[in-house]
Structure 1
Amino acid sequence: MPTLILVRHGRSTANTSGVLAGRTPHVALDDQGVAQAAALPGRLARIPLAAAVTSPLQRCHETLRPLLAERPELPLHVEERVNECDYGDWSGRKLAELNDEPLMEVVQRHPSAAAFPGGESMRGMQARAVDAVRDWNARIEAEHGPEAVYLMCSHGDVIKSLVADALGAHFDLFQRISVEPCSVTAIRYTRLRPYLVRLGDTGDFAGLAPREDGTSAADDRDAAVGGGSGGS
């Protein structure tokens, strides 16, 4: 079965402003996100990609633009099922104010029971994304063979949920997984089990260094809903 390369979109203007963008339209990459996207073709230069699949949102399309410019032969497919989580009434709100919502504790500690008002459940988000990957695995294998590699550009919580599925981990553990903007995660699927071969690889370890206030990312008590803005 194919190998799937999951790319989280580059850092967006919503990431840096502390807003939970969700499916809000016209959320673009910020300057650092544009630079991250520009570096992506070089990072993937040695990988023969059979296809690219993307969330319909602008920030994912902008992330893939430099890669597609260098590989004009690479087919691009839009897949609604790997769209960002539908955060409903939470979309567009500041994460700082959402931290005071009682639901946030459920999102952090028991996400399999979390459903966003006016939106979808987190468990539903995982189910649709897993179904999409299964379908694309079958399609890519049928069209390009079992050793094919393809890319999927999506969002932090979606990618984390796919990693949890690949690891056979209960969804309530998915907040222990971290994927930074424009990070690369790779899952090799086989007939009997998936193998996680890369997780959140950015090639940059700056996010592991202590912050100016003396803390590190490991000191954060809660996971960044929506994926966060990265370590820099």
Structure 2
Amino acid sequence: MPTVILVRHGRSTANSDGVLAGWSPGVALDDSGREQAGALAGRLAGLPLAAVVTSPLQRCRETVQPLLDARPGLPLHTEDRIGECHYGDWTGRKLAELAEEPLWGTVQRYPSAAVFPGEGGESVRAMQARAVDAVRDWNDRIEAEHGPDAVFALCSHGDIIKSIAAEALGMHLDLFQRLAVDPCSLTVIRYTAQRPYLLRLGDTGDLAALAPRTEPASDDAVVGGGTGAS
């Protein structure tokens, strides 16, 4: 089966503002995110990509554009099933405010039971199911068109990528908050007939993120994905 490179979008204006963007329109990359996106083509330069698949949201499309500019003719596909979680009434709200909500604790400790409130709110289980289905469908399509050794990139969002990685590892969804996927990091999975192999997880190509932080650390996982190293 092909190898899929899961790219989290670069840091967005919502990330830097501490807002849960969800499917809000007009959420672009910030200055740091544009730098990250610009470096992506170089990080992937040694790989013969068969295609790029992206979430329809602006921050993902902006992340892959420099890669597409560097490789004229590289096929681009849009896939709604790898779009961000539908956070319902949480969409557009400050993460600091959401941390006071009772549901926040459920998302932290028991995400398989979490359903986001309001019209269009999605469960974390439904989010994972559609994202995993999308990856496996694209694996089949890429293999049929380019062969079993093909490599392709799929640009998505923090919680989506964490849930895909958790499924590949055979982890219960309630453990997926143990995974960290920074902006513009690469998570690489090779699916085989026997099992998936997780080859990289949240790889930024830079160990600076492991240095002690100057601000107090929180034990909570950031819903929607963190902002990465300062």
Q: TM-score range by the shorter chain?
A: over 0.9
With the length of structure 2 as denominator, give the TM-score of the two structures.
Answer: 0.98
Aligned to 2:184: 182
CA-based RMSD of the aligned residues comes to: 0.8
Aligned to 2:212: 210
Aligned to 2:227: 229
Task: Please report how far the alpha carbon of residue 205 of structure 1 lies from its aligned counterpart in structure 2 after TM superposition.
Answer: 1.7
Unaligned runs of 5+ in 1: none
SS of residue matched to 1:140:
helix
List per-residue Cα deviations over 1:125-170 (Å, max 9, x = no partner).
Answer: 0000000011101101101000000110000000000000000000
Question: Which residue identity lines up with residue 23 of structure 1 in the other structure?
Answer: W
SS of residue matched to 1:185:
strand
List per-residue Cα deviations over 1:165-187 (Å, max 9, x = no partner).
Answer: 00000000000000000001100
With the length of structure 1 as denominator, give the TM-score of the two structures.
Answer: 0.97
Unaligned runs of 5+ in 2: none
Of residues 108, 111, 130 in structure 2, which corresponds to 1:128? 130
- Consecutive aligned runs of 4 or more in structure 1 exceeding 2 Å deviation: none
Count of residues in correspondence between the two structures: 228
Residue pairs, 1:87-166, within 5 angstroms: 87-118=87-118, 119-166=121-168
Task: Please report how far the alpha carbon of residue 74 of structure 1 lies from its aligned counterpart in structure 2 after TM superposition.
Answer: 0.7
Identity %: 71
- 1-side partners of 2:183 and 2:128: how far apart? 19
Aligned to 1:173: 175
SS of residue matched to 2:59:
helix
Task: Please report how far the alpha carbon of residue 220 of structure 1 lies from its aligned counterpart in structure 2 after TM superposition.
Answer: 2.2
Q: Which moved more, 1:77-86 or 1:198-207?
A: 198-207
- 1-side partners of 2:153 and 2:132: how far apart? 15
Task: Please report how far the alpha carbon of residue 208 of structure 1 lies from its aligned counterpart in structure 2 after TM superposition.
Answer: 1.4
List per-residue Cα deviations over 1:204-224 (Å, max 9, x = no partner).
Answer: 2222112224x5xxx421101
